[in-house]
Structure 1
Amino acid sequence: MKYTVQNQRTVFHDHYKMLKASVSYDTFDGDTIETERLAFHRGDSVAIVLAEKETESILLTKQFRYPTTLHEEGWILEIPAGSLEENEAPEECIIREVEEETGYHISAAEKIMDFYTSPGASSERLHLYYAEVSESDQKSDGGGQEDENEDIELVKLPIADIAGGIPSTIIDAKSIIGLQWLLQKKK
């Protein structure tokens, strides 16, 4: 099966981009569909399931997310995450994001998987990692980058609290995927 993308153009560009293109693609019954499609293009990102050994806890972040206010949610719990900068390797980005958001230093992380966050609308591919830290690995308070208007609170969730399932207070997909992976790994 084949597809073509033509006349791709930027129709909106602020912090993120919206692209529009003419596409044609083969159907499963041998026909061809020709249409226009939009793609929210925000670049790739990283996220990490970060376990603190001494406290047997997962380190989460709590921060304000404007899009969730459309469903009357403001601050949500998430695993640490962030956007890749231009020409930055995911392995470098996750180390930087862990330090910026949590204050912990990691030197490496185990790759879990890559996945698309919302393939019908967004080009974003997320690189998901796992690492263990010790309390002594916390080198600063974290809290995010002031110049990016971040205000992040570190939250420790005991792993025992997720043994029976992901708490309903965690409503972020990447966090649910990461914590489900952890539950399977711990079996």
Structure 2
Amino acid sequence: MNYTVENEQVVFDDHYQMLKAKVTYDTFKGSEISTNRLAFYRGDSVAILLYEAESDSVLLTKQFRYPTTKHQQGWMLEIPAGSMEKEECPLTCIKRETLEEMGYQLHQPQQIYSFYPSPGACTEKTYLFYAEVSEKDKVAKGDGNPSENEDIKMVKLPVSEIENWLSEKIIDAKTIVGLQWFLFQKKRS
């Protein structure tokens, strides 16, 4: 099956961009559809599930998220994450973001997934990592990057409470994916 993208242009350009293009693609019945589509372009991102052995906890961030206020949510519990710079590799980015947001230096993060959080609307691809850290790996304050107006609080979620938090407090997709992966790995071992 084939597709073409024509006349792609930026129709909104601020912190993020909105793209518009004419797309033509093959149908499952053997014909073609040709239509105009919009895509929210924000670049790619990274996220990481951090497990701290001493506290038998996973490390989450709590921070304000404007888009979630449309559903009367403001502060979200999430795994650490961030946007990749142009030409930046996911591994370099996750090390930078973990240090900025959590203050932990990573040694051997493992990429566990890559996925599209909202493929019907957004170009973003997320690279999800896992790493085990120790209290001795905390080499900086964390709390986010003030130049990006970040205000981040670290939350330690005991492993014994993950299932309860998944059903009651965690509503962020990448965090759900990461925590479900962790529980699956734990049950397999």
Q: TM-score range by the shorter chain?
A: over 0.9
Alignment of structure 1 residues 115-126 onto 2, 5 Å: 115-126=115-126
Aligned to 1:88: 88
Q: CA deviation at 1:92?
A: 0.4
2:173 is aligned with what amino acid?
A: A
Q: CA deviation at 1:164?
A: 5.8
Aligned to 1:179: 179
Aligned to 2:24: 24
Q: CA deviation at 1:86?
A: 1.2
- Superposition CA RMSD, Å: 1.0
Distance 1:77 1:26 in 2: 40
Deviation larger for 125-134 or 154-163: 154-163
Q: CA deviation at 1:31?
A: 1.0
1:2 equivalenced with 2:16 (yes/no): no
SS of the counterpart of 1:166?
helix
Q: CA deviation at 1:166?
A: 1.7
Q: CA deviation at 1:19?
A: 0.2
Structure 2: unaligned runs, 5 residues or longer:
none
Q: 1:155 to 1:139 in 2, by over 3 A?
A: same
Aligned to 1:71: 71
8 Å Cα contact 1:95/1:108 also seen in 2 = no
Structure 1: unaligned runs, 5 residues or longer:
none
Distance 2:45 2:65 in 1: 16
Distance 2:165 2:146 in 1: 34
Aligned to 2:146: 146
TM-score by length of 2: 0.97
Distance 1:129 1:11 in 2: 33
1:133 is aligned with what amino acid?
A: V
1:126 is aligned with what amino acid?
A: T
1:57 equivalenced with 2:22 (yes/no): no
Length, aligned pairs only: 187
2:17 is aligned with what amino acid?
A: K
Residues 79-98 of structure 1, C-alpha deviations (whole Å, 9 max, x = no match): 00000011111000000000
8 Å Cα contact 1:22/1:34 also seen in 2 = yes
Distance 2:86 2:107 in 1: 21
Structure 1: which 4+ aligned runs deviate by more than 4 Å? none
Distance 1:114 1:176 in 2: 14
Q: 1:164 to 1:74 in 2, by over 3 A?
A: closer
8 Å Cα contact 1:60/1:155 also seen in 2 = yes
Residues 103-127 of structure 1, C-alpha deviations (whole Å, 9 max, x = no match): 1111220110100010000000000
8 Å Cα contact 1:22/1:35 also seen in 2 = yes
SS of the counterpart of 1:5?
strand
Aligned to 1:168: 168
Aligned to 2:110: 110
8 Å Cα contact 1:44/1:84 also seen in 2 = yes
Distance 2:140 2:93 in 1: 18
Calculate percent identity across the aligned residue pairs.
Answer: 59
1:48 is aligned with what amino acid?
A: I
Distance 1:121 1:178 in 2: 22
Aligned to 2:36: 36
Deviation larger for 166-175 or 77-86: 166-175
